[in-house]
Amino acid sequence: MAGETEEAQAVPVNHDPRRLAWAYLARVVQGPSPQLARLVADNGPEEVARAVRAGALPDELVARTAARAQVDTAASDLDVVAALGGRLVTPEDDEWPQWRFLAFAGVEREAGAGEPFALWVVGSRPLAELTDRAVGIVGTRAASSYGEHVTGEIAGDLAVDGWTVVSGAAFGIDGAAHRAALGVGGTTIAVLACGIDRAYPAGHARLLRQIAREGAVVSEYPPGTSPARYRFLARNRLVAAMSDGVVVVEAGWRSGARNTAAWARKLGRPVMAVPGPVTAASSTGCNRMIREGEAALVTCAGDVVEVAGPIELRDELPMVASRDTDVLTGDVLLVYEALPASGTRGTGELSVESGVPIERVRASLPLLELEGFVGLGDTGWFRRT
Amino acid sequence: MAGETEEAQAVPVNHDPRRLAWAYLARVVQGPSPQLARLVADNGPEEVARAVRAGALPDELVARTAARAQVDTAASDLDVVAALGGRLVTPEDDEWPQWRFLAFAGVEREAGAGEPFALWVVGSRPLAELTDRAVGIVGTRAASSYGEHVTGEIAGDLAVDGWTVVSGAAFGIDGAAHRAALGVGGTTIAVLACGIDRAYPAGHARLLRQIAREGAVVSEYPPGTSPARYRFLARNRLVAAMSDGVVVVEAGWRSGARNTAAWARKLGRPVMAVPGPVTAASSTGCNRMIREGEAALVTCAGDVVEVAGPIELRDELPMVASRDTDVLTGDVLLVYEALPASGTRGTGELSVESGVPIERVRASLPLLELEGFVGLGDTGWFRRT
């Protein structure tokens, strides 16, 4: 094929052809594509790259890939990122994080759902290690001095305690969270809604360089990509997915931070919020989430660790549905065992029955559901037998 | 008896002997005395007054009454209060409030528990009418400007909406609550831990006069009584008992407002708290109560009405144990019906089963318990059959 010849000519000797195929495909899909990921897992990236170029794909994937199938900047994308000290991380790499059910949440309903196809990363440590104990700390760009102060206290204390602080590098709360982690010599990850070669917001260019040096700057979009609204929403899911829990420090009623919180809920991660003056618009979202039972009230890093202490699921738990309850441990097992053999139970009932705090019951049920152990009917949760 | 002759000489013609007997007894007991109240209900105040003077009482009541049995300032007490435009209100009066289970809560364990023996009241409207729709608004004396502002908003809006604002006339949040109600032409009740002829705190003398004119100043202690710590605690129970719910606006960790909240819980009244900055000592108590699930988060009068909307129990519900569930209505009936015929349920389960919000389930259960409909065992609530 002509395309193949041209590609072969463009390949610099220093790029692995398999990695080039990944980079090509990552730019073609620009975000998650469970179908393409499955195809790659089955056939390898190079064969799928050829099929994409030839349009030899299921209709759905042709529609998704056609627009950029003939654009191949894989080599220069890898060069640009290498020049920043970065790399492309794919599901084939050891450092690919355990996404804990991101593969399932919202995939049927939402664009920008599912596991990322691949990630562009600047930062020296393996991503899986960085996200091993991580808390998302997010909030409004229009932060008050109160919000920035509390963010600094909580993020700083968590970072001292060895937690990675994950956020979105925006002005306001996000920036305060990253800075606090860096300020105590801790680790922080910035997840961007644009290419990792772009400083967005521009005022955070220096901060982003520092985050890349001390932690990681991550994006699922190829170099040069501009931020866009749907990319911010998709980015929020990665902030939640990389974290053991998400803290909203300050949020107005329509803040993007509440979108991150919603993702955390879908992914079974505890959602926490810092209360604030009822007179402050910047705390409206937080106070309301607490009031509605959507978020646990936290006032300090100690509270956060109490709520977000990692859900105990054994590492070997397979991502496909399994009925072998031997893999369940800790809270998750207690919650499962609190379900009757027949009939349903509500979240509150399960908390009472299991002795597991309701926050952690809420976090455990989506995991059990995604694993096929339980289902949710009109009257409550039930065991799948 | 010599004592009787002396008493007859001291009676001014304008005082009803029965009322004089009540006034005498009220000073003798100075606070609640379920036993003495029962004796009076059975035998009338005059006969009991004679028995008290003669020490012709059960041992327990002799011990309780002996110290003041020979002090009879009944006529002058009534004169002092009449001069203030006030009166003694007793269980025999139409305006005696429906105390809704105050008779039961804590009576076995705590001094200063149970229904008041009688109340000294300054204010023109009947007490039962004033307390028909009432919210307690309390908080720290060391209020911040934030706390005073929010108190003003919530108390003012509730008073405009026809709710009586009940508080303790202290500096800080209490004072702000009374002032806000008065400021909108609303109704407010100050419950004192001293005689109603005493302005405590002195700095609130003018405020107390205004409350007496527009609402009511109330105390269970006779004229001249000084405030004392145990009287503040007993007073707090009356603030809770006169209210359909209690809002704590600002409270430090050891604030007396948390004692009022504890009384509200015991009495089945919803407890609410206003969140505040996690950096403010004056909000520590409120944030913590919300975090621990002891109080519902409220931000405005609308939130308060949603939570404190009166528990629906038919007026004719007898105060003695009854198994006739026909008297149950509304939430209380739904909660009762959510209990299984045998076995137990937790609060969370009952909320799920009944569809009644957990706050109102928590408020309903103590009522059902006190009425003998339900009991609380090691594993949860059960129906008494």
- Categorize the per-residue pLDDT at B324 as very low, low, confident or very high, splitting at 50, 70 and 90: low
Q: How far apart are the first and last CA of chain A?
A: 52
CB B98 within 8 A of CB B128: yes
pLDDT-above-90 percentage for chain B: 61
Average pLDDT, chain A: 88
CB B89 within 8 A of CB B219: no
Which residues contact residue A145 at a Cβ distance below 8 angstroms, ignoring those fewer than 6 apart? Answer: none
The CATH 3.40.50.450 domain(s) of chain A lie at 121-308
Note whether A296 contacts B291, CB cutoff 8 Å: yes
Note whether B276 contacts A279, CB cutoff 8 Å: no
Q: pLDDT tens across A329-382, in order?
A: 778 888 888 898 888 888 888 888 887 888 788 878 877 887 778 888 878 888
pLDDT over 90 at B86, yes or no: yes
Note whether A290 contacts B300, CB cutoff 8 Å: no
The CATH 3.40.50.450 domain(s) of chain B lie at 120-308
Q: pLDDT tens across A35-48, in order?
A: 899 899 999 999 99
Average pLDDT (A162-169) is 97
Q: How far is B41 from chain A (nearest CA, A)?
A: 44
Note whether A278 contacts B291, CB cutoff 8 Å: no
CATH node for A121-308: 3.40.50.450
Is cis: bond before B91, omega within 30 of 0?
no
Q: How far apart are the first and last CA of chain B?
A: 53
- Categorize the per-residue pLDDT at A318 as very low, low, confident or very high, splitting at 50, 70 and 90: very low
Name which of A291, A303, A358, A382 to mutate to probe chain B: the one with the most chain B Cβ atoms within 10 A of its Cβ: A291
Question: Which of A275, A298, A352 comes nearest B349 by C-beta?
Answer: A352
Set of chain A residues whose Cβ sits within 8 Å of the Cβ of B278: 150, 274-276, 299-300
Q: DSSP label at B84?
A: T
Higher pLDDT, B323 or B365: B365
pLDDT over 50 at A85, yes or no: yes
Set of chain B residues whose Cβ sits within 8 Å of the Cβ of A295: none
User: Searching chain A, which residue's CA lies closest to the CA of residue B147?
Assistant: A277
Burial class (CB in 10 A: 0-12, 13-18, 19+), A206: exposed
Note whether A352 contacts B352, CB cutoff 8 Å: no
Residue found by looking up tokens 């193949």 in the block:
A4
Question: Which of B297, B349, B353 comes nearest A291 by C-beta?
Answer: B297
How far is residue B154's CA from residue B214's CA, in Å, rounded to a whole number?
A: 19
Centroid of chain to Cα A27: 19
Burial class (CB in 10 A: 0-12, 13-18, 19+), A293: middle
Average pLDDT (A150-156) is 98
Is cis: bond before A116, omega within 30 of 0?
no
Question: Which of B275, B303, B352 comes nearest A275 by C-beta?
Answer: B275
Nearest-CA neighbor of A383 among A327, A328, A305, A323?
A323
pLDDT value for B13 = 53
Note whether A278 contacts B287, CB cutoff 8 Å: no
Q: How far is A366 from chain B (nearest CA, A)?
A: 19
Set of chain B residues whose Cβ sits within 8 Å of the Cβ of A353: 346, 349
Nearest-CA neighbor of A107 among A34, A58, A42?
A34
Q: How far is B351 from chain A (nearest CA, A)?
A: 8
Average pLDDT, chain B: 88
How far is residue B48's CA from residue B25's CA, in Å, rounded to a whole number?
A: 8
Set of chain A residues whose Cβ sits within 8 Å of the Cβ of B347: 348, 352
pLDDT value for A157 = 97
How far is residue A30's CA from residue A118's CA, in Å, rounded to a whole number?
A: 9
Fold (topology level) of A325-383: Arc Repressor Mutant, subunit A (1.10.10)
- Categorize the per-residue pLDDT at B50 as very low, low, confident or very high, splitting at 50, 70 and 90: very high
Q: pLDDT tens across A9-25, in order?
A: 444 557 899 999 999 99
Set of chain B residues whose Cβ sits within 8 Å of the Cβ of A151: none
CB B334 within 8 A of CB B278: no
- Categorize the per-residue pLDDT at A2 as very low, low, confident or very high, splitting at 50, 70 and 90: very low
Note whether A352 contacts B358, CB cutoff 8 Å: no
Set of chain A residues whose Cβ sits within 8 Å of the Cβ of B275: 275-278, 283, 287, 290, 297
Question: Which of B150, B298, B380 comes nearest A352 by C-beta?
Answer: B380
Question: Which of A279, A290, A352 comes nearest B150 by C-beta?
Answer: A279
Q: pLDDT tens across B87-114, in order?
A: 999 999 999 998 877 877 777 677 788 8
pLDDT over 80 at A224, yes or no: yes
Is cis: bond before A34, omega within 30 of 0?
no
β-pairing, A164-167 vs A134-138, is parallel
User: Searching chain B, which residue's CA lies closest to the CA of residue A346?
Assistant: B352
Higher pLDDT, B200 or B354: B200
Average pLDDT (A252-265) is 90
Note whether B275 contacts A287, CB cutoff 8 Å: yes
Set of chain B residues whose Cβ sits within 8 Å of the Cβ of A347: 348, 352
pLDDT value for A310 = 55
How far is residue B198's CA from residue B80's CA, in Å, rounded to a whole number?
A: 11
**The CATH number of domain B120-308, selected from 3.30.450.40, 3.20.20.70, 3.40.50.450, 3.40.640.10:** 3.40.50.450
φ/ψ (deg, to 5) at A128: -60, -35
Nearest-CA neighbor of A219 among A202, A229, A232?
A232
Question: Which of A297, A298, A346 comes nearest B349 by C-beta?
Answer: A346
CB B32 within 8 A of CB B115: yes
Size of interface A-B (CB pairs under 8 A): 91
User: Searching chain B, which residue's CA lies closest to the CA of residue A286?
Assistant: B275
pLDDT value for B52 = 95
Element (H, E) at A219: strand A216-219
Note whether A279 contacts B352, CB cutoff 8 Å: no
β-pairing, B374-377 vs B380-383, is antiparallel
Set of chain B residues whose Cβ sits within 8 Å of the Cβ of A351: 346, 348
Name which of A288, A299, A300 to mutate to probe chain B: the one with the most chain B Cβ atoms within 10 A of its Cβ: A299
Residues in chain B whose Cβ is within 8 Å of chain A = 146, 149-150, 274-279, 283, 287-288, 290-291, 296-300, 303, 345-349, 351-353, 358, 380
* ipTM value: 0.73
pLDDT over 70 at A316, yes or no: no
Centroid of chain to Cα B223: 19
Name which of A278, A351, A378 to mutate to probe chain B: the one with the most chain B Cβ atoms within 10 A of its Cβ: A278
Nearest-CA neighbor of B336 among B291, B381, B305?
B381
